[in-house]
């Protein structure tokens, strides 16, 4: 499994991904699912991937090599895409390209062409944007009302994002809540696990502000998990028992 969350707030973008992959419960590995494409002073993109690893890695390779623009025939890359929208289209086109090549054989082997991606970033002078790209290469954009998108095993970690993140949330509070969301997911699904890759990009900044990997045993994340557990325990213990109980309840 995989869990990735992208949060787009007033001050910037937070991207968080786990690194666990599994081909069956007895075949678990660590693979990077968060990919950074950065040209300091010009443009930064982060791509996070969920689904079949052979497909997602091929898509990343296509993006690195560039894809011909269907109108002009020229090779389009993330470096020369004229807007975030065009860059997201390029991601979608790369997915379709891999499907054209590998799809029929995968179908024959009854392997589902199953992939989804979060793609966010900013081109200098243009708005910062965050997209979720589906396996058909189409995509939706993150809005202000629900300023986050998730892929992979998204349900366990959604309630805290629903409650705690708004567009006005401080950039590093968004990171913190994203890590709580990751923690909830890791506790309920062993297929999601450490290390965790994270990137923070401040809006209109020339460079990527933070690119970090949380390894097992890191003190801050360990402390966050402990505090969150303790706080939840205190929270539900502080709520009175239901009054439906009979007198001796």
Contacts with a second copy, residue ranges (CB under 8 A): 155-156, 158-160, 162-164, 170-173, 175-177, 179-180, 184, 187-188, 198, 200, 209-210, 212, 220, 224, 227-229, 231-236, 238-246, 249
Shortest distance, position 152 Cβ to a second copy, whole Å: 12
Cβ proximity to a second copy: between 125 and 249 the closer is 249
Cβ proximity to a second copy: between 53 and 224 the closer is 224
CB 200 within 8 A of CB 14: yes
Shortest distance, position 31 Cβ to a second copy, whole Å: 22
* CA–CA distances in Å: residue 117 to residues 28, 35, 222: 21, 11, 28
Cβ proximity to a second copy: between 55 and 177 the closer is 177
Whole-angstrom distance, CA of residue 156 vs CA of residue 189: 8
Tokens 């497909």 -> residue: 55
Shortest distance, position 157 Cβ to a second copy, whole Å: 8
Cβ proximity to a second copy: between 92 and 157 the closer is 157
Q: Is 217 exposed, middle or buried (0-12, 13-18, 19+ CB in 10 A)?
A: exposed
Shortest distance, position 228 Cβ to a second copy, whole Å: 7
Whole-angstrom distance, CA of residue 239 vs CA of residue 249: 16
Q: Which helix (H) or strand (E) holds 151?
A: strand 148-152
């Amino acid at each position: 499994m995989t869990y990735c969350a992208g949060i787009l707030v007033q001050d910037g973008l937070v991207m968080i991904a786990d690194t666990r992959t599994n081909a069956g419960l007895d075949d678990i590995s660590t693979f990077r699912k968060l990919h950074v494409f950065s040209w300091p002073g010009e443009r930064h993109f982060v791509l996070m991937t969920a689904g079949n690893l052979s497909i997602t890695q091929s898509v990343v390779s296509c993006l690195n090599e560039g894809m011909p623009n269907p109108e002009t025939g020229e090779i389009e890359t993330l470096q020369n895409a004229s807007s975030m929208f065009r860059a997201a289209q390029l991601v979608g086109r790369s997915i379709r390209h891999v499907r054209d090549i590998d799809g029929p054989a995968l179908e024959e082997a009854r392997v589902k062409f199953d992939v989804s991606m979060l793609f966010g970033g900013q081109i200098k002078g243009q708005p910062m944007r965050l997209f979720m790209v589906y396996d058909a290469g189409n995509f939706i954009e993150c809005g202000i009302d629900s300023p986050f998108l998730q892929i992979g095993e998204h349900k366990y970690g959604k309630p805290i994002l629903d409650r705690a993140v708004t567009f006005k949330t401080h950039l590093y509070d968004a990171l913190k809540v994203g890590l709580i969301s990751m923690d909830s997911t890791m506790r309920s699904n062993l297929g999601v696990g450490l290390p965790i890759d994270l990137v923070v990009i401040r809006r209109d900044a020339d460079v990527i502000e933070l690119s970090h990997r949380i390894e097992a045993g890191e003190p801050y994340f360990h402390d966050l998990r402990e505090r969150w557990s303790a706080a939840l325990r205190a929270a539900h213990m502080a709520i009175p028992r239901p009054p439906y109980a009979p007198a001796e309840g």
